[in-house]
Amino acid sequence: MLQPANRQAPPQPALRFRFNWTVDSLTPGQKLLFVAVLFKKLIIASLVFLLLQVILTLASAAAGGILKFGSMPFSPGSTVRANVPLSPQEKSYASQGGNPVPPYAVAVLATPANFDPTKSWPVLVTCSTSDSKRQNRDDLIDFYRRIGLAEGWVLIAGDGPQPARNDNVAWREAMTMAAIDALHRSFAGSEKWPIACAGFSGGGKAVGYIAPFLAKNHCHVIGIYITGANEDHLSDGYASLQPGAAFLNTPVYISAGHDDRIATIEQQYTVAGSIKRTGFQRIRIGTFRGGHEGNDAQTSIALGWFRDLAK
């Protein structure tokens, strides 16, 4: 019986075309098909990329919208104002000196653009002078917000809906504590965030009471920043509020203008000496060319010093 011839299969051009080819080896029709397929894949890849970008943008916006301070939604990098409740104790403080108790306090919060409430943030509490009916929130915005945010701090201030009839220490304590309480209710774990207090002129006197008051109420106070104060009220605040001997380790930064005629540089050195005699151990004085005013460079130095010492 004849056996079929053992013929090898003819070479398959398709396989060589699939595995061993260059564009130059393609026919014009194949080149056109190749370009069409490649162009289609590029379009699909571009559309997928754009879709992912849209999804990430929407997710980011949704995440930002979830953030709330009090009842007010906000996004990181913004300044938000919220009406917040007063506790019975805060209402009692607010009423001292014959002040009518307001229905709520007003808290203002400013956060950096990268604010993430699941992380720990240093908090700067601002205190204003009572002159010209200034509110704590006014100084937050005018004197501290730009540098504070640039340095990575969260800033907060508490006030009444209207300036107090009798703008006394108890009123400031009530409104500031209401704002801090709102912060703690809004962000889990924020009760452990480090706090510094800052005040200019009369506000530099007010922090002498606000800082020990917050420490007495279980806040972690890491710094006191005083600018343009011609009297020591911190020693009196420490003695009257008795936050504990450990409070004497709180860093105190005094910023003094060489040309200040309201709180002369000599008076501010006297304030520093008085604070030191009370027992405060970490005191630093920074001077600048200027008058009775805040100074951005000094603010930056003070906030950096507080954070370094708190590490």
What's the structural domain count of the chain?
2
Kindly list the distances between the CA atom of residue 86 and the CA atoms of 140, 212, 256, in Å, as whole numbers in the listed order. Answer: 21, 20, 35
User: Which pLDDT belongs to residue 74?
Assistant: 97
Instruction: Assess whether 153 and 296 both reside in one domain.
Output: yes
Is the pTM higher than 0.85? The answer reads no
Instruction: Assess whether 54 and 90 both reside in one domain.
Output: no
Among 6, 41, 61, the domain-final residue is: 61
User: Which pLDDT belongs to residue 48?
Assistant: 63
Task: Confirm whether 272 is domain-assigned.
Answer: yes
For residues 127 and 210, the answer to whether their CB atoms sit within 8 Å is yes
Task: Confirm whether 12 is domain-assigned.
Answer: no
Instruction: Assess whether 77 and 36 both reside in one domain.
Output: no
Instruction: Assess whether 255 and 143 both reside in one domain.
Output: yes
Give 237-304 as a DSSP string. Answer: HHHHH---GGGGGS-EEEEEETT-SSS-HHHHHHHHHHHHHHT---EEEEEES-SSS--HHHHHHHHH
User: Which pLDDT belongs to residue 33?
Assistant: 73
Task: Confirm whether 2 is domain-assigned.
Answer: no
Instruction: Assess whether 180 and 32 both reside in one domain.
Output: no
Cα 88 to Cα 92: distance, rounded to the nearest angstrom? 6
Strands (E), 128-269: 154-159, 194-200, 220-227, 252-257
Please report, for the domain that includes residue 282, its CATH number.
3.40.50.1820
Instruction: Assess whether 55 and 79 both reside in one domain.
Output: no
Task: Confirm whether 185 is domain-assigned.
Answer: yes
User: Which pLDDT belongs to residue 39?
Assistant: 66
Task: Confirm whether 52 is domain-assigned.
Answer: yes
User: Which pLDDT belongs to residue 4?
Assistant: 41
Instruction: Assess whether 38 and 103 both reside in one domain.
Output: no
User: Which pLDDT belongs to residue 164?
Assistant: 94
Buried b (16+ CB within 10 A) or exposed e, 109-119: bbbbeebebee
Cα 167 to Cα 228: distance, rounded to the nearest angstrom? 19
Instruction: Assess whether 48 and 197 both reside in one domain.
Output: no
User: Which pLDDT belongs to residue 13?
Assistant: 46
For residues 269 and 220, the answer to whether their CB atoms sit within 8 Å is no
Instruction: Assess whether 27 and 151 both reside in one domain.
Output: no
State the CB neighbour count (10 A cutoff) for residue 287: 16
User: Which pLDDT belongs to residue 271?
Assistant: 99
Task: Confirm whether 9 is domain-assigned.
Answer: no
Write out the residue range of the structural domain in which residue 52 sits. 23-61
Instruction: Assess whether 46 and 137 both reside in one domain.
Output: no
Task: Confirm whether 4 is domain-assigned.
Answer: no
Among 14, 45, 61, the domain-final residue is: 61
Task: Confirm whether 249 is domain-assigned.
Answer: yes
Among 61, 81, 110, the domain-final residue is: 61
Instruction: Assess whether 96 and 225 both reside in one domain.
Output: yes
Tell me the pLDDT of the chain (311 aa) as tens digits.
334 444 444 454 444 434 344 556 657 676 677 666 666 777 777 676 555 553 443 444 444 457 999 999 999 999 999 999 999 999 999 999 999 999 999 999 999 999 999 999 999 999 999 887 899 999 999 999 999 999 999 999 999 999 999 999 999 999 999 999 999 999 999 999 999 999 999 999 999 999 999 999 999 999 999 999 999 999 999 999 999 999 999 999 999 999 999 999 999 999 999 999 999 999 999 999 999 999 999 999 999 999 999 98
Instruction: Assess whether 189 and 272 both reside in one domain.
Output: yes
User: Which pLDDT belongs to residue 186?
Assistant: 98
